[in-house]
Structure 1
Amino acid sequence: MQDISIYLPSILLAYSAFFVGIASPGPNILAIMGTSMSVGRRSGIALALGVATGSFTWAVLTVVGLSALLATYATALVAIKIFGGLYLLWLAYKSFKSAMAKHDIEARQLAGGTRTPVGYLTRGYVIQMTNPKAALAWIAIISLGLQQDAPLWVGTVIVLGTFALSVVIHVTYAVAFSTPVMVRLYGRARRGIQTVLGCFFAFAGLKLLTSRT
């Protein structure tokens, strides 16, 4: 394994971008919250594991796809990082806009009635895999972690690390938000959280745009 100190900062930045992205509840997170509150913690955990598995699949596909692209066109990394930087700046804009909005988060149960745990697991996976924004987000996250001529283990570490984070964080949402009081508490802190997330996304986006190696 090559000197890890060369690649560790980029790997940690990719982890951080993934973490703060999950910290801002989107449709998948709200579905986990709503399922835990209305159906039960077990069903919420099953849905969370399905979403996490979908995230793992997207991560693998993105790393493999970008690695193959860079192996053929080394200069493509510059274009990928520009795209990733612009997408992160768009996420920063969305976070700041959410911070200024007056509405609170609203967790809802999935349509279609109650399912078995396997059914919720499958539904979570399908939801994540059919989310077009997930592909864009993963391109941005992986482009933060991959450097030109990075060895295979770098992509592997990013995939496995983000998968572990995904399982822990999504399951934590399912457990913690199995009661309405947690949703209310999160809603009160929403503006501050979204402001912090916006600052991070802006920092990460500018870093990608100004560092193209």
Structure 2
Amino acid sequence: MIELASLLTFAFTVLVIELTPGPNMAWLAVLSVNEGRRAGLAAVAGIALGLGLVGLAAALGLGAVIERSDMLYGLLRWGGVSFLFYLAWEGWREAGETAPVEASQGLRRYFLRGFVINILNPKAALFYIAVFPEFIDPAGPVAQQAVMLAAISVLIATLIHLAIIALAGSARLLLDNRPRRLIVQRALSLLLVAVALWLLVSTAR
């Protein structure tokens, strides 16, 4: 099995990567400022499920198949970027609206969107493909080790995401002035556009 020192090194690597601004961080900030903490929590649950399934797919070797296929990789890449652009547009549009979304429908929608963002995120798959082999002992049960590393990765990511929605939710309470909140919401939507463009460039082959 994986030694404790290797697990700690892996956890630190994941922490550094997760603290780097990316699609999840930007979108959760937009969502939590726009809709509040409950929406953010629903999204975090969807993100965790998506990351877990991507990690499981990598453990089963499906990630390597996608990485070797230019067509599959391109579909995944453009699908993820397009979805982020859509979310940025929606955040910009909804910043100017006052009609609330029905609670149950909204939470279900945010869960599914968090899930889709990560299923369509090629950087998540590439992370598992590139980083996992460095920490797995080939003499031990490879699949079990990969599942363990995926679980650690999802746990760390989830804790960071919870911190983001807590901070963004607090900011939402402070932004009780509608014009000021509108500015912040649309600035965050522009940030999400920037992240989508960064993802498009950084995943190019």
- TM tier, shorter chain? 0.5 to 0.7
Offset of 1:91 from its aligned partner? 4.0
Which residue does the alignment assign to 2:118? Answer: 138
The RMSD of aligned alpha carbons is 4.2
Offset of 1:197 from its aligned partner? 2.3
Which residue does the alignment assign to 2:3? Answer: none
Which residue does the alignment assign to 1:37? Answer: none
Aligned to 1:150, what secondary structure does the other structure show? helix
Residues 172 and 22 (structure 1 numbering): CA distance in 2 closer, same or farther, change over 3 Å?
A: same
1:19 correspondence with 2:9? no
> Could you tell me the TM-score, scaled by structure 1's length?
0.60
C-alpha distance after superposition, 1:95-117 (max 9, x if no partner): 675698696254726447xxxxx
Once the two structures are superposed, the pairs formed by residues 1-213 of structure 1 within 5 Å of their partners are 1=6, 11-12=17-18, 16-25=22-31, 30=34, 32-33=35-36, 48-70=40-62, 74-79=64-69, 81-91=73-83, 93-94=85-86, 97=89, 104=96, 106=98, 108=100, 110-111=102-103, 124=107, 128-129=110-111, 131=112, 133-139=113-119, 140=121, 142-143=124-125, 145-148=127-130, 150-151=132-133, 152=146, 155-178=150-173, 181=176, 184-210=179-205
Which residue does the alignment assign to 1:115? Answer: none
C-alpha distance after superposition, 1:1-20 (max 9, x if no partner): 2976xx76993487623211
Offset of 1:172 from its aligned partner? 3.0
CA distance in 1, matches of 2:24, 2:198: 14
CA distance in 1, matches of 2:41, 2:186: 28
Residues 136 and 13 (structure 1 numbering): CA distance in 2 closer, same or farther, change over 3 Å?
A: farther
Which residue does the alignment assign to 2:141? Answer: none
C-alpha contact 2:50 2:116 (8 A) present in aligned 1: no
C-alpha contact 1:89 1:206 (8 A) present in aligned 2: no
> Could you tell me the TM-score, scaled by structure 2's length?
0.61
In structure 1, stretches of 5+ residues that fail to align are 34-43, 113-122
For this pair of structures, how many residues does the alignment match? 180
% identity of equivalent residues: 11
Aligned to 2:96, what secondary structure does the other structure show? coil
C-alpha contact 1:63 1:155 (8 A) present in aligned 2: yes
